[in-house]
Amino acid sequence: MKAKALPSSMSSTAIWTWPTLLGALTLSGLMSALLGQHGVWLAVSWISLSMPLAVITVCLRRAWSRPSSKGGPL
């Protein structure tokens, strides 16, 4: 997930891997609590729905932990 310039454009698979994964986790989280309602299913739901938030946190921490050499305006 490093922001170094890549030599060529990414394939659609590469672009959509993470979004698809997060979307699938969200859906399974939404459904498992609705269909299950028991201890385990609730826990599965909480964990799956936390994943998008966790991924956002990790990405933001990475971006802000690197020293910023901000360029000029566009």
Which residues lie near another protein (CB under 8 A)? Answer: 1-3, 5-6, 8-10, 12, 15-19, 22-23, 26-27, 30, 33-37, 42, 45-46, 49-50, 52-53, 55-56, 58-60, 62-64, 66, 68-74
- Spatial distance between the Cα atoms of 53 and 8, rounded to a whole number of angstroms: 29
Token pair 């990790």 is found at 58
Give me the least distance between CB of 16 and another protein, in Å please.
Answer: 7
Give me the least distance between CB of 46 and another protein, in Å please.
Answer: 5
16 and 32 in contact (C-beta within 8 Å)? no
- Spatial distance between the Cα atoms of 18 and 2, rounded to a whole number of angstroms: 14
Neighbouring CB atoms inside 10 A of 45's CB total 20
Give me the least distance between CB of 10 and another protein, in Å please.
Answer: 6
